[in-house]
Structure 1
Amino acid sequence: MTVSGPRGRLLTTRRNLLGMAGAAGSGLLLPNGARAAGTPAWRRPLAEADAVIAFGHTGPVTDGGWTMVHDRGVQAVRRAFPKLRTIYVESVPYSADATRIFRQFVAEGAQMVFSTSEYGDFIKDVSDRAPDVAFMECDGTNVTGNLGWYYVAHWYASYVIGIAAGLMTRTGKIGFLGAFPIPSVYASANATLLGAQSVNPAVTLQSITINAWFDPQAATQAATALADNGCDILCGIMDEPAYLRVALQRGLKAVMWNTGMLDFGPEAYISSVALDFNDFYVSQVRDLLAGTWQPQGRFLTLGHGVDRDGWGPTVPVEAARQADAMRTRLLAGYNPFRGPIHDNHGRLRVPAGVELSDLEIYHSDWAVAGVSGLE
């Protein structure tokens, strides 16, 4: 486990986190999900110097993508509140070990725990037994007495960039890399293709899922397969830039995710769905310290936590102009996810005149017409 002191100084404990977690916290975790009587601690003001904030990351902070962006948020918290202490663990597994890690955060005295990816029952079981601790789960779905969720409404930025991709593709084939066939991947693939089809109806999208968020070798192999199949634009929702390198080597174009990645291959770069959790994390900690934090679900919206990165140098001016015109409409409240929309089996999913809400997009488990390889 890595912690920061009052001045951001990094310390590394020599204790085995997973070994301790099973036994630690016997006096802190309530049995059978029972809740303590009275006002929970997170409803009372907390001195900055007494605060401990914990983060459980799905990958390494050096991944160049998802976890790196969250780590920037951790650093923003340290700058905003230099007297508090932060704890983080990288590469938290999706297993019972995750539960032990979250329990250990509580045992270490954390008053607020963030999981920077979805951990479902692994974090909920711990939050149920630690009612005095505030929990927030990124890409989660649960709201309980002390657990909320947060996520980025990335589908709008994907739609904008999809317009540029639809105008730039020569073959009419977009390749898409995802980790798993889960709602966030469906939302990203669907939005990208719908944006592309809004200016080029013949465009299709071929997807490959690699069963990992961070696996550069598998991502490289999948990107190569997509290129071999005629996809001249590669995009996806991965935690690292492997497929941008494939695009650069093959003379293709790429749309990235998490952060600006122009430096990894400017000749191939179209743009990126760029995330910024800094203000969100600072505001959550500020609310905790003030005793005003509340468990709820929250989207970070276009221009406020998620947006497109700058356009790459090879993006045609007209493609950028059309895409940015849509971005302006979206910022004004326009919703492009309106029927009729059919799925990739021909079924009408969204009737004419009906708009999909952010929650409906967030929970989508189907692919739009023109998407293949994502079931």
Structure 2
Amino acid sequence: MISTKSLSRRGFLNMGAAAGAGLLLPKTGLITPAHAAGPLAPVAEEDAHIAFGHTGPTSDEGWTWAHDQGMKAVAAAFPKLRTSYVESIPYSADATRIYRQFVADDACMVFATSNYGDFLYDVAKRAPDVAFYECDGRNPLDNLGTYYVSHWYPSYVAGIAAGAMSPSGKLGYVASFPVPSVYSGTNAFLMGARTVNPEATLQTIVINSWFDPQAATQAGTALIDNGCDVLFGIMDEAGYLQVAEERGAKAVMWNTDLRRYGPNAYISSIIVDFKAFYVEQVRRRLVGEWTPTYDLLPFGGGVDVDAWGETVPADVAAKADAVKASIMDGSFNPFSGEIKDSKGNVKVAKGETMSEQELYHWNWSIEGVSGLDA
């Protein structure tokens, strides 16, 4: 079922011309150019249809909810256009059918809020006058850009707090799939933890889903049973946080502030906010400036660390906040060598620093992370 909704908007850092007075927009890190023959033709606001394809339900209070807030920001910024969405799109031929239906319904811009690969690419190639964006995409086309968030930086900062608050040094991670976003998240989290506990380790359990509360709860339970006292993950709901609350452990979450599900367990969350990014891309599409880009929303401008939980000691919060400030002002980059993989091989030599491209495509585990590499 396709639904239509609208609501509020919010932004960050002024990037120049934008729809509506005072709209603020995040800086974005262009990591790989996507080439196009030229900007797509402008579209009158009253004729525009902006469609969103989601991997989960908009009620998940996580990843899909965050993108839904972005759609509502677009509807508020441009009240004459039409927005629509389909939630919980499967990774199958049904996805292709749904994205084709968006085009058939005269969508001039389509956002796939997760990586749908060939299910989306085939549709985009057949609709050259439609602007497409794929979140966490890997294959830009003349009319398809990709975007994601630099989540490895806040994951590192949250890892500092996790390492300080873990009596055992045994951390656990509930993983969706062994994909780059999981490798970068686990690695960054453990690297942060090891700045305060050099012997810390991170055990992962892969549940093969982005949204499966029952499986996430089971994985969280298994990790605590195995001795982990701080949990992290990339799930779209609060399952493992509730387990941590019940078992007296701690947890770091993803996407949104979920502390009410485990106020004593909650350390923080990796917070994502796509509202300003979506509003700017739609503005560019309407005025005829849109060409595909490959953007990473930066730390503090689309992805951040949530306010610390009520049980995080003040000195731990202060230490993590100081590192966050040094990352954001450019005086410190945590992803400098020497960095070894889980087999002991040097992957980043001393004196070298991983590029944003390498961080985005990270596909190997560091020493101390188990459960992802064969």
The CA deviation at 1:45 is 2.0
Letter in 2 for 1:136: Y
**Are 1:170 and 2:172 counterparts?**
no
**Match of 1:115?**
112
Partners of 2:86 and 2:108 lie apart in 1 by: 16
Alpha carbons of structure 1 residues 359 and 39: separation in structure 2 relative to 1, 3 Å? closer
Partners of 1:74 and 1:226 lie apart in 2 by: 36
Partners of 1:43 and 1:215 lie apart in 2 by: 39
- Equivalent position to 1:354, from 332, 352, 356: 352
Question: Is 1:113–1:136's contact at 8 Å kept on the other side of the alignment?
Answer: yes
Partners of 2:194 and 2:235 lie apart in 1 by: 23
**Match of 2:190?**
193
**Match of 1:17?**
none
The CA deviation at 1:108 is 0.3
Residue 342 of structure 2 aligns to a residue in which SS? coil
Letter in 2 for 1:172: G
Partners of 2:202 and 2:113 lie apart in 1 by: 28
User: Using CA pairs below 8 Å that are at least 6 residues apart, which structure has the higher relative contact order?
Assistant: 2
Q: Deviations over 1:301-324 (max 9, x none)?
A: 001000000000100111101100
Letter in 1 for 2:4: S
The CA deviation at 1:46 is 1.5
**Match of 2:368?**
370
The CA deviation at 1:83 is 0.8
Question: Is 1:95–1:122's contact at 8 Å kept on the other side of the alignment?
Answer: yes
Q: Deviations over 1:196-233 (max 9, x none)?
A: 11221110000001001111111111100000011000
**Match of 1:343?**
341
- Equivalent position to 1:96, from 93, 97, 115: 93
Q: Which structure is larger by alpha-carbon Rg, 1 or 2?
A: 1
**Match of 2:307?**
310
TM-score by length of 1: 0.90
The CA deviation at 1:122 is 1.0
Partners of 1:284 and 1:4 lie apart in 2 by: 19
Partners of 2:71 and 2:100 lie apart in 1 by: 20
Note the residue ranges of structure 2 that are not aligned, 5 or more in a row.
Answer: 8-35
**Are 1:184 and 2:193 counterparts?**
no
Partners of 1:197 and 1:362 lie apart in 2 by: 21
Question: Is 1:165–1:233's contact at 8 Å kept on the other side of the alignment?
Answer: yes
Partners of 1:316 and 1:137 lie apart in 2 by: 39
- Report the number of matched residues: 344
Note the residue ranges of structure 1 that are not aligned, 5 or more in a row.
Answer: 9-37
Question: Is 2:37–2:142's contact at 8 Å kept on the other side of the alignment?
Answer: no
Partners of 1:92 and 1:4 lie apart in 2 by: 16
**Match of 2:146?**
149
**Match of 2:255?**
258
Partners of 1:182 and 1:341 lie apart in 2 by: 19
Letter in 1 for 2:125: D
Letter in 1 for 2:303: V
Residue 150 of structure 1 aligns to a residue in which SS? strand
Partners of 2:117 and 2:353 lie apart in 1 by: 28
The CA deviation at 1:4 is 2.5
The CA deviation at 1:165 is 0.6
Residue 199 of structure 1 aligns to a residue in which SS? coil
Percent of aligned pairs with the same amino acid: 59
Partners of 1:344 and 1:275 lie apart in 2 by: 29
Equivalent runs, 1:119-138 vs 2, <5 Å = 119-138=116-135
The CA deviation at 1:39 is 7.8
Q: Deviations over 1:46-67 (max 9, x none)?
A: 1111100000000000112110
Letter in 2 for 1:106: V
Partners of 2:327 and 2:136 lie apart in 1 by: 22
RMSD of equivalent CA atoms: 1.4
